Amino acid sequence: MKIEKQLNRAPILIRSYPVAFLALCGVLVGGAALIFNAPTSRLVFMAVIVLAGVPLASSTIRNIIAGRFNVDLIASLAVIGAALQGEYVAGALVVLMQSGGEALEDFGLQRANRSLDNLLKRAPSVAHRRYGDKIDDVSASDLQVGDTVIIRAGDIIAADGLVIEGQGNVDEAALTGEPVPLGKLPGDKVYSGTINLSGSLVVRTTNRASESKYELIVKMVQDAQGEKAPIDRLANRFAPAFTILTLLISAGAYLLTHESVRALAVLVVATPCPLIIATPLAVLSAINRAAALNVIVKSGAALEQAGAVNTVVFDKTGTLTSGQPSLAEIRLFASASEAGLDEEKTLKAIACVEMLSSNVLARAVIQEARRRNLDIIAAAELREQ
């Protein structure tokens, strides 16, 4: 199954990154042909430079004409110089490094953005708004402050508000990390992006959906993706100087040796593709990986500073726990023991009742009973107060 998925994914990657795919295939074929037939190998490497290198060089030239100075200029000059001097192997390798780096960066950005997509998917889109005795399904973005909203069991709360009727258990882990769902009664606050697990609530909105806590978190992640870390800004700040210095050294190598291949060697070695893509891709991937784990990073700068942290202080145990309650201990009164009850009989009786309960702690009791291999059967009738 895994091999089948990879085969299905291959055509998509080829369509998405044709230049990188062409360069990779060309270098592999050219390298293999080099062993058996050198002239054929040169033709293959030349084809890589022409078919894959020309689009990269033309893109760099367009950026320079538009006033966007780009360090890819070094790579483009290296490719052009290699083609003019007949050093097709070096030129093809630079093309592969350039196109492969861009493809890896783009692929990494797409993978990293999936966690943000998950945040956006979790954002509520529909709300049940009540007008008198009538309930209409409306877009969450249409909610106004003061609207009355019905929150049913399983609903994602669409906007921050105040409970005015009903009761329920709300999972706020996405916002607070609180491991156990919280019971909500009239007068309690509820927040957008949290889930009503049981019961029914009538809520009066205190914020519009766009101003809710969940939307602010999503916006914070988006802003963090766009903000460059200090080390990234430093690299970009010195990129023009780095390019000019490389060109001067290349020119100096030619003037000293009168061998153009020496100048070309400087350009090939100085091709900065890995330097330019490494930092922003690493920062963006880290921010989105953290978001997938429900850790919100305010900015790339904050992420970079975290590397120097020696001590972390957490404000509550829920931040460090798994978020799943479990039964830790059973204590019996003396009267229960006198009546012939022990732990297993008591646990079995309670689990039979909890089978029908919607209480958030019922699952912990049932799981413990099953772990002990107790024969539990749901009670015939249950009334919860």
d(CA 148, CA 162): 10
Quote the Cα angle for 26-30-31, to 5°. 120
Active site residue 147: no
Residue 136 three-state SS: strand
Catalytic residue, candidates 133, 137, 315, 375: 315
Check: CB of residue 177 under 8 Å from CB of residue 318: yes
Place of tokens 């023009």: 240
Check: CB of residue 267 under 8 Å from CB of residue 81: yes
d(CA 59, CA 66): 11
d(CA 320, CA 314): 8
β-pair partners for 151: 201
DSSP string, 202-228: EEEESS-GGGSHHHHHHHHHHHHHHSP
Rg of the chain in Å (alpha carbons): 31
d(CA 76, CA 79): 5
Residue 235's H or E segment, with its range, is helix 230-237
Quote the Cα angle for 137-139-144, to 5°. 100
State the amino acid at position 217 in one-letter form.
I
Residue 10 token pair: 């291959």
- Phi, psi torsion values for 156, nearest 5 degrees: -90, 125
d(CA 131, CA 148): 7
d(CA 146, CA 108): 43
d(CA 143, CA 215): 14
Active-site positions read 315
